[in-house]
Amino acid sequence: MSAPVVQAPQLGQRRAQITAFKAMCGRDCWVILRHDLAGFLAQSLLQPLFFLFIFGRVLPEIGAAQGSYGAQLLPGIIALTLFLTSLQNTALPLVIDFSFTKEIEDRLLAPLSAWALAVQKMVMASLRGIVAGLAIIPLAALILPGGVDFADVSWLGFVVLLLVGPLAGASVGLLLGTAVEPQKISTMFAVTLTPLLFTGATFYPWQALDTLRWFQVLTLLNPLTYLSEGMRGALTTIPALGAGWVALGLVVATAIFGTLGVRGFTRRATD
């Protein structure tokens, strides 16, 4: 008895990296579809659904908010879902992989640069973000009293944000997932997620903060602000940050967090 003899594919390094990258995406899709779809949807949709229900339905119902609040809220919730789903699906698996299971080692030994593996993780998490962000729309149509009105939609803006927003979230996730020691990770999440959630112009239009100037300026530090405002501009006629500012904010945030995140990842990838 003898081990089967095959010729290993003789790929150039560039081709080898592209092949490995695609195969890893294939693996991730396979894992979600085969094992994880229900869990993934529950995990990413539950929080936004409750936000929609409580703020968009219950509060107007009991007279604590205006009936039209739901329409203002929806773009923010879509943005939040895109952003946080990508963020968490990048950060959490990395924390587990690097500190506990070491499962990532088999991918670190595949013919792919560490930075490309980091990008692969971001791309797949962004894909999850997009799925969750789209899934929230029909559900919102059921929950919100006014339903979902897409009469004034700028489709180009919406699609661009749908692609770019999750990447911004994933880049923040990459940094969070690789920045601190595993023992400190739960503290890290606790002190970053809540501020990200509530300073991201999700629950209010940014322009409405005029009277709370210091807070308005502070929220510009949160990349989610640009995504929420962009969505608001693309989906509604509510006054929102200009497209130029939105693009600038998202690109700069993705570049900064992405660079730091990839650096953190490559540092953690080798001992």
Which residues here bind other proteins, judged by CB under 8 A?
1-9, 11, 13, 15-17, 19-20, 23-24, 26-27, 30-31, 35-36, 101-114, 270-271
For CA atoms 25, 177, 44, 245, the dihedral sign is: negative
Looking at beta carbons only, is 1 or 190 nearer to other proteins?
A: 1
Q: Write out the two tokens for 223.
A: 């990349």
Least distance from C-beta 58 to other proteins, angstroms?
Answer: 38
Instruction: Mark out the alpha helices in 207-242 (DSSP H runs).
Output: 213-218, 223-235
Who's near 269: CB < 8 A, 6+ residues apart?
104, 108, 114, 117
Looking at beta carbons only, is 16 or 247 nearer to other proteins?
A: 16
Looking at beta carbons only, is 114 or 197 nearer to other proteins?
A: 114
CA distances from 123 to 67, 87, 156, 246, 248 (A): 37, 11, 21, 21, 21
Looking at beta carbons only, is 31 or 58 nearer to other proteins?
A: 31
Least distance from C-beta 5 to other proteins, angstroms?
Answer: 7
Least distance from C-beta 3 to other proteins, angstroms?
Answer: 5
| Nearest-5° Cα angle at 22, 21 to 28 | 95
Looking at beta carbons only, is 3 or 151 nearer to other proteins?
A: 3
Least distance from C-beta 23 to other proteins, angstroms?
Answer: 4
Contact between 264 and 175 (Cβ < 8 Å)? yes
Distance from C-alpha of 152 to C-alpha of 260, rounded to nearest angstrom: 37
Q: Write out the two tokens for 128.
A: 């999850």
Distance from C-alpha of 229 to C-alpha of 10, rounded to nearest angstrom: 49
Calculate the dihedral angle through the C-alpha atoms of 13, 18, 24, 30, rounding to the nearest 10 degrees.
-140
Least distance from C-beta 11 to other proteins, angstroms?
Answer: 5
Looking at beta carbons only, is 30 or 215 nearer to other proteins?
A: 30
Least distance from C-beta 1 to other proteins, angstroms?
Answer: 7
